[in-house]
Chain A
Amino acid sequence: MHCSATLGSGSEEEAKGMQGRFIDGVVAKPHTVTVELVDHGIWIVSMDGQIRQFWPLTDTELLDKNVGKIRLSCQGRGDARLIVSSEEFDIYLVDGTDKPQSASRGLPKLVTGLITVAVLLVIGGFFAIPRLADGIAALIPYSVEHEWGLGVARQFDQLGDYCVAPEGKAALAKMENALSAHPLAQYYPIRLQVLDAPIVNAFALPGGHIRLLEGLIDEAESQEEILGILAHEVGHVVHRHALSRMVELAGVQLVVQVLGGGSAVDFGSLLVNMHFSREKEEQADRFAIEILNDLGQTTLGMAAFFDRLSVDQEAVESNMETDEEGFRVSQILDWISTHPPGEDRSKILRENGKFEKSQPPLLSEAEWAALKGICTETNPLPSP
């Protein structure tokens, strides 16, 4: 039985019981009614006989109980309300078989459900998506990655002008060609540029874009150090680590948005601060070892570079000034923040490299000197 209404057919004689106030949900004028409770429901009859409704208790909901009043609604009756004295209503209910349902039921269920959703979101956002990111990235066509990479590189290249000294560019092209010629790198063309920025770092961006910063070239003590670092960055490129990181960030950002609210963070700024996990760094290292071995080049240069950074890091951690240039310490930290050092990384490089010395070195002494001076000429536009 549902809440029913019979308009205009009631009479005062039929309705016995307590008084109530009835809001019919049609007009704002309230009605004074007589309320009669029978076994399974409530009869509501207006004094003038204009209203006569039956509300089954199973369909009746207790909305509110306050200052001696009870407010009831009935399924299917919209905003119609019956307001009665709670004291009188409770007496009627003592022997009743059915009772109105409370509107505030189900809180434990709701909270349990929400905790589950929150836990799932955290697991999904911070654990599952980063672990699935490689798989998701693999589904994205390389042409799309290439397009994104161009845009990311355009933003990234605001760090400094392009270094374009011709001899230096020629030396760099020799390294780039050697690394690109390797079978592992043939599917992912490398686009290498040196930027005139005094930061000790190198970045692999989506779409094969690699950016070497002048600070790193200044810091390098041998061509093998630069070649090793470039090989490492090519490792990030062929494993599409930058794209995978973008997917990771998107997932985490979405969860942060859902849980925390507020506007989403600009992706460009996230990408500039992008760093890879230790596993991905080691994967890039293994690629670098393989490609350097195949090219007959030593891995010891790269290992030496890591060792020097490691010493610098220890010095920074013990608050020791290691360099009169002062600011160099923070630049080293910049490298560390984007390339987490592993204790075993230089050890692995030493143990797995085939050559103590390059056979022969890729660049001549003159070419290496030219590379060191690549930023003596700069241009705001990239050279081909």
Chain B
Amino acid sequence: MNMITETTSLGEDQQDNPAALRHRSEVREVFNLWIVNLLLSILTLGLYSFWGRTKMRQLLWSRTSLLGDDFEYHGRGIELFVGFLVASVLFFGSTQGLNFFALTVENAIVAGVLQILPILIVLILFPTAFWTQRRYILTRTSWRGVRGDQPTGWWGFVWRAIGGYFLTIVSLGLAFPFVATKAMTYLNKNSRFGDTYFTSDMRAGPIFKGYAVLLVSYLLMVAAFGWTIYSTIQDVRSGILSEEEIQARFETIAYVFFGVYAALLIIGPVIYSFFQLQWWRQFFGTLSLAGATISVNASLRSVIIYLVKVFLVMLITLGLGRAFVMRMKIQFLSTHLQFHNIQQVENLAAEAVTELRTGEGMADALFGDFGIGF
């Protein structure tokens, strides 16, 4: 039996058993491409990075398979580059144009509104950039000749995101899990693969526990620290403290700060890992396509190890190693996601996708690469 028929029979055998993604890129080939991309990007003052990123995605996608068939990335460097140029000029033109226009207005209220407008534009553009990038990556990803898409839901996502900013701020961050799960569920429901839309029903409750512990820890630390400094300043001003007492107070503050900070450095990643695990469980665990579902079998320990590795890679590469992080993410998900009833997706039919010739330029121009959209 040759390789070709092996993969076919593998697909057939999987009908009643859970299937997994398989990722088989080697660190060496990723490194070789990464270093070439880096050097060419330096040589071209950063312009090559669009083509470099495209090649890296092509490599990583083509080394990832489901039921024996590889994913394929169809994006082109020129799309990213043109999109970035267009978005840069539009953003630069609109914000600076408004700034100039504000200079010409004498009415203070109108001038004030004009100066606030760029902030509002950014508030709208941030979710737009995220939405557009996700849509671009979906339309440029295919498996078995069928592509993904996210044809609708831009405005719905934008207002959910803007509402979410304010809710999060007003609630001192507590509302974030609710806001994020609502927005992501909305995005998932507006996404499809081939002719079939995903279903999704992310819940904030399970995510909230870990998140609330993390947030409350930080808030308490900030509040306690702020109060200590404030009361010390008040005491110093009132003159009731001697020089030695002031010095002792500040030494205590420093010890407390570093103690709490060190504790959070250890506890923080554990709680964050818990949050990340719960997020993936909600994201993938409630996602369904044509009857096919996904379960997450990762443990907290495996997520902690994964996140520590990500941190170390970013540290060692001075933040330039996003390609390795993306590979690690795909590899992690390949190991810990299980697909059920996956044979159902064989009935998916290809559907025409939206052509986004400007790639994910908005995200590039404003905020850089968001990653792969979940």
**Contact surface of A with B, Cβ cutoff 8 Å:** 19-21, 23-30, 32, 63-64, 66-69, 71, 78-81, 83-85, 104, 110-111, 114-115, 117-118, 121-122, 144, 147-148, 150-152, 154-155, 250, 253-254, 257-264, 266-268
B143–A28 CB distance below 8 A: yes
B92–A264 CB distance below 8 A: yes
A69–B345 CB distance below 8 A: no
A266 to B189, CA, bound (A): 38
**Contact surface of B with A, Cβ cutoff 8 Å:** 2-5, 7-8, 11, 24, 40, 43-48, 51, 55, 62-63, 69-70, 72, 74, 77, 84-85, 88-89, 91-92, 95-96, 99-100, 102-106, 111, 122, 142-147, 194, 345-350, 364-366, 368
A261–B72 CB distance below 8 A: no
A66–B145 CB distance below 8 A: no
B104–A23 CB distance below 8 A: no
A147–B103 CB distance below 8 A: yes
A85's contact among B3, B55, B100, B111, by CB below 8 Å, is which? B3
A32 to B366, CA, bound (A): 46
Residue of B nearest to A266 (CB): B99
Top 5 nearest A-B pairs (CB, nearest first) are: A151-B103, A147-B104, A25-B145, A114-B44, A118-B45
Contacting residues, chain B, for A122 (C-beta < 8 A): 45
A112 to B111, CA, bound (A): 46
Contacting residues, chain A, for B51 (C-beta < 8 A): 110, 114
B88–A148 CB distance below 8 A: no
CB distance from B21 to the nearest CB of A (A): 16
A19–B349 CB distance below 8 A: no
A32–B102 CB distance below 8 A: no
B8–A30 CB distance below 8 A: yes
A63 to B321, CA, bound (A): 26
B85's contact among A29, A30, A71, A258, by CB below 8 Å, is which? A258
A292 to B96, CA, bound (A): 39
Interface centre among A25, A68, A114 (most CB of B within 10 A): A114
Known: A19-B5, A118-B44, A148-B104. A261 touches B368 (CB 8 A): yes
Known: A27-B350, A258-B85, A263-B366. 17 other contacts (CB 8 A): A19-B4, A23-B145, A24-B145, A27-B146, A27-B347, A30-B69, A63-B72, A71-B62, A79-B72, A81-B145, A111-B40, A114-B44, A117-B44, A150-B103, A254-B89, A260-B46, A267-B99
CB distance from B100 to the nearest CB of A (A): 6
A111 to B45, CA, bound (A): 11
A-B contact pairs, 26 of them (CB 8 A): A27-B347, A27-B349, A28-B348, A64-B70, A66-B70, A78-B350, A104-B55, A110-B48, A110-B77, A111-B48, A114-B44, A115-B43, A117-B44, A117-B47, A118-B44, A118-B45, A151-B104, A154-B103, A250-B96, A253-B92, A254-B89, A259-B45, A259-B46, A262-B366, A264-B91, A264-B95
Known: A111-B44, A257-B88. A27 touches B348 (CB 8 A): yes
Contacting residues, chain B, for A152 (C-beta < 8 A): 103
A349 to B330, CA, bound (A): 70
Residue of B nearest to A65 (CB): B62
A149 to B72, CA, bound (A): 55
Interface centre among A21, A118, A259 (most CB of B within 10 A): A21
B2–A19 CB distance below 8 A: yes
Known: A151-B103, A261-B364. A85 touches B4 (CB 8 A): yes
A259 to B46, CA, bound (A): 6
A267 to B72, CA, bound (A): 44
CB distance from B132 to the nearest CB of A (A): 16
A85 to B6, CA, bound (A): 12
Majority-rule SS of A interface residues: mixed
CB distance from B4 to the nearest CB of A (A): 5
B145's contact among A80, A250, A268, by CB below 8 Å, is which? A80
Interface centre among A20, A84, A118, A121 (most CB of B within 10 A): A118
A121–B45 CB distance below 8 A: yes
Contacting residues, chain A, for B106 (C-beta < 8 A): 150
CB distance from B60 to the nearest CB of A (A): 12
A118–B99 CB distance below 8 A: no
CB distance from A62 to the nearest CB of B (A): 12
Known: A26-B350, A27-B346, A261-B368. A32 touches B5 (CB 8 A): yes
B91–A28 CB distance below 8 A: no
Residue of B nearest to A73 (CB): B72
A111–B43 CB distance below 8 A: yes
A28's contact among B5, B72, B345, by CB below 8 Å, is which? B345
Residue of B nearest to A77 (CB): B145
A224 to B225, CA, bound (A): 57
Interface centre among B44, B69, B145, B366 (most CB of A within 10 A): B145
A29–B346 CB distance below 8 A: yes
CB distance from B160 to the nearest CB of A (A): 23
A79–B366 CB distance below 8 A: no
A261's contact among B3, B84, B348, B349, by CB below 8 Å, is which? B84
A67's contact among B2, B24, B43, B122, by CB below 8 Å, is which? B24
A71 to B62, CA, bound (A): 10
Contacting residues, chain A, for B99 (C-beta < 8 A): 266-268
CB distance from A261 to the nearest CB of B (A): 6
Residue of B nearest to A31 (CB): B8
Contacting residues, chain A, for B95 (C-beta < 8 A): 263-264
A298 to B124, CA, bound (A): 59
Residue of B nearest to A103 (CB): B58
Contacting residues, chain B, for A258 (C-beta < 8 A): 84-85, 88
CB distance from B278 to the nearest CB of A (A): 31
B4–A20 CB distance below 8 A: yes
Known: A150-B106, A254-B92. A23 touches B100 (CB 8 A): no
A21–B8 CB distance below 8 A: yes
Residue of B nearest to A67 (CB): B24
B47–A148 CB distance below 8 A: no
B47–A28 CB distance below 8 A: no
A117 to B103, CA, bound (A): 34
Contacting residues, chain A, for B96 (C-beta < 8 A): 250, 253, 264, 267
Residue of A nearest to B51 (CB): A110
Residue of B nearest to A22 (CB): B145
A114's contact among B47, B145, B366, by CB below 8 Å, is which? B47
B102's contact among A68, A151, A260, by CB below 8 Å, is which? A151
B69–A263 CB distance below 8 A: no
CB distance from B265 to the nearest CB of A (A): 29
A26 to B349, CA, bound (A): 6
